Amino acid sequence: MRLNHLRTLVGLAGLLAISTVSGPTSADGFFGASGRFDRPQGGYASPWTTLRRGTPEQVGLDPAPIQTALQKVHAWTEAQGTAHPMFGGAVTMLVHDGVVVTHDVTGHALRYADKAGTELPREQWVPMQADTLFDMASVSKLFTSILVMQQVEARRVDLDAPVSRYVPEFAANGKEAISVRRLLTHTSGLPSGLPLWRDWPDKPSRIKAALEAKLLNEPGTKYLYSDLNLIALGVLCERVAGRPLDVLVREGITAPLGMVDTGYNPSARNRAAATEYESVPPRGMVRGEVHDENTWALGGVAGHAGIFSTAADMAVLGQALLNGGTYRGRRILRASTIDQMLTDNNGAFPGNAHGLGFELDQMWYMDGLSSMRTAGHTGFTGTSFVVDFQSRSIAILLTNRVHPTRDWGSNNPSRRAVAQGLAQALAVRPLQGRDAWFSGVGEERTATLATADLRTRGSGPAHATFHVFVDTEPTDTLLFESSVDHGASWQAVSARAYGTGAPDSTVTALSGEGHRAWWFVDAALPVAGASHDVALRWRYVTDKVYSGRGVYLDGIRVWDDGGILLDGERDPQRFTADGWRPATR
């Protein structure tokens, strides 16, 4: 935290210069260096980057947060008191800069005998394995989206053309003008789904019902996640390419990338993680067969669900995306196409950022990795797939959370924990000296960093300047406050922040995520003239869910025209920290 006695404008200019850098720019790799969270990279990794095993330390990661996340995942496979486990088992894979730093296995692929959670005899439990096949559920939507974009590249499909151009029966019930793009972004107006398996007798009638479904909303007026969108896109791909969807996935994605364990209707069912015990329809314990009832009723192949895969195969897909569409010399998409897929089309619907098929910036499962260049998807069965383009990282968590029943609840805490473990492992380096103040992360907590009274010396106003790295959800804020009555009461101080992603006006609270840049902050204090006392504090407050990467403070300096009142780099002992700690990364 050591800071030379530079004037405010000098510090501001330096901070702005650093914040505009993206990607490697120096011989020593300082900018865009491996393992850096605060040096977001633009563009894509080398197309020749291939996955290799290594340790977190080898790519500049701190192993401790990763281990903490894995310990949580392990604990969630066991009952907590009288509560049931969150899931029977899990496979976790974390990748950074092409290095697989974690491939962790815990729990069981098969454990229960019925929907009530009656356990099988212990000798019949099937341990989870590194190559266990998982029903990816809605993560399958990404495969269909890639196929659509391959047809766009081949000029067989226009994103802004009506779907009915390619699938005429889709025009039924006032849908003749709905575009391909609207289906990819879930703004078509279609309902979330229909019980195709229950209300229609065979595959042709079920497909017809899905295509001819009535609108729930006016197209483009709402975001509503819908399986029907992707069912229709799966049919579209089959029509324009002239081949079945499972063949298109194999020929267009899995075979070129060498994803040997990925596809529909797996033959090695004994390698699959069990999902749910179903009485209606009467399927019993589902294992090695798609869990989604509509996909099952369509023969196991549909645009919205049905893909089975392993953590290793999904990591290959993630790396191909990070590489700009190429893996081991085989290209599945152009980099410019991935650019399109990572561009938010849903600015009119805050909180529902969505590219073409990919969800973007979703803290509810991406947590500290969230940004507008973080893409992914989740699956109802308990799967999640997160690709962070700015840090060249992949977070994969595959669980069987619906085993033996969907009624046992969500595994979102585990999704967040895994993404957060990788985010916390990435370094945020101090701007000044060897360390910075770090708020820590956590839910429903307050961290306070305070000074004792500072006595003014000059005749003019006093100022505080500091650098801050903020990566929080909007409701988790850093408050800068002052007291002129020896800490009896505190008032918010208006401050102006400068840097990438900073607020464009004076504010009293700082928050924000995804920009991954240090800001320079300048605040005028509510005292002027000599011999006034003012105490300062930085108070970080979080709510019940989502933590982000937290807050770092560095280069704190208080001054007036009479001189320096506080240099945080030289006198760190003048702070009282409650919840904050010095951190070197």
> Are both 476 and 547 inside the same structural domain?
yes
Range with the poorest average pLDDT among 25-29, 128-132, 141-145, 455-459: 25-29
Residues 535 and 455 placed together within one structural domain of the fold:
yes
Q: Regarding beta strands 575-578 and 446-451, do their DSSP bridges make them parallel or antiparallel, or are they unpaired?
A: antiparallel
Contact 558, 462 (CB under 8 A): yes
Written as six digits, the tokens of 178 are: 């709905």
Both 366 and 256 in one domain: the answer is yes
Tokens representing 145 are 């989206």
The answer to whether residues 275 and 359 belong to one domain is yes
Helices (H) and strands (E) in the chain, counts: 14, 29
Helices (H), 311-433: 311-322, 335-341, 363-366, 412-425
Cis check for the bond before 47: say yes or no (omega within 30 of 0). Answer: no
* Cβ within 8 Å of residue 360, ≥6 positions away: 342, 344, 353, 354, 372, 373, 374, 375
Structural domain including 139 reads: 68-420
Q: Which of 393, 420, 447 is the last residue of a domain?
A: 420
Give a yes or no: residue 2 inside a domain: no
* Separation CA 40–CA 371 (nearest Å): 10
CATH number of the domain enclosing 450: 2.60.120
For the chain, the C-alpha Rg in angstroms (whole number) is 26
Average pLDDT, stretch 97-112?
98
If asked whether residues 309 and 450 sit together in one domain, one would say no
Residue 50 in any domain: the answer is no
Q: How far is CA 208 from the centre of its chain?
A: 35
For residue 171, give the DSSP letter: G
Residue pLDDT, tens place only, 378-398: 999 999 999 999 999 999 999
Contact between 495 and 523 under an 8 Å Cβ cutoff? The reply is yes
- Under DSSP, the state recorded for 162 is B
Residue 148 lies in a domain: yes
Please indicate whether residue 255 or residue 21 has the higher confidence score (pLDDT).
255
User: Using 50, 70 and 90 to split pLDDT, how confident is the model at 33?
Assistant: low
User: So what's the pLDDT on residue 499?
Assistant: 95
| pLDDT at 442 exceeding the cut of 90 | no
Residue 104 belongs to domain with CATH number = 3.40.710.10
How far is CA 99 from each of CA 53, 55, 321, rounded to the nearest angstrom?
5, 8, 15
- Quote the CA–CA distance of 366 and 67 in Å, as a whole number: 18
Residue 315 lies in a domain: yes
Domain membership flag for residue 25: no
Domain count, the chain: 2
List, in sequence order, the alpha helices (H) in 342-411: 363-366
How many whole angstroms separate alpha carbon 508 and alpha carbon 122?
Answer: 58
pLDDT higher than 50, residue 31: no
pLDDT over threshold 90, residue 547: no
CB 399 within 8 A of CB 383: yes
Indicate the helix (H) or strand (E) that contains 274: strand 274-278
230 with 359, same domain: the answer is yes
Average pLDDT over residues 27-41: 67
Q: Is residue 43 part of a domain?
A: no
Q: Which of 420, 446, 471 is the last residue of a domain?
A: 420
Domain boundary among 420, 448, 468: 420
Q: Which of 142, 62, 128 is nearest to 92 (CA)?
A: 128
- The reply to whether 410 and 442 lie within a common domain is no
Same domain assignment for residues 275 and 408 = yes
Whether 585 has a pLDDT exceeding 90, the answer reads yes
Q: Taking a C-beta distance cutoff of 8 angstroms, is the pair 51, 315 a contact?
A: yes
For residue range 323-344, what is the model confidence (pLDDT) as tens digits?
Answer: 999 999 999 999 999 999 999 9
Same domain? 227 vs 268:
yes
Query: Per the domain annotation, does 105 fall within a domain?
Result: yes
**Mean pLDDT, rounded, for 66-81:** 94
Q: Do 177 and 150 share a structural domain?
A: yes
> Could you tell me if residue 471 is inside a domain?
yes
Q: What is the pTM of this model?
A: 0.92
User: Is residue 310 located within the same domain as residue 337?
Assistant: yes
Residues 297 and 342 in one domain: yes
Element (H, E) at 523: strand 518-528
327, 320 in Cβ contact below 8 A?
Answer: yes
Task: Please report, for residues 96, 231, 240, 257, 439, the alpha-carbon distance to residue 243 in angstroms, rounded to integers and kept in the order given.
Answer: 36, 15, 8, 20, 55
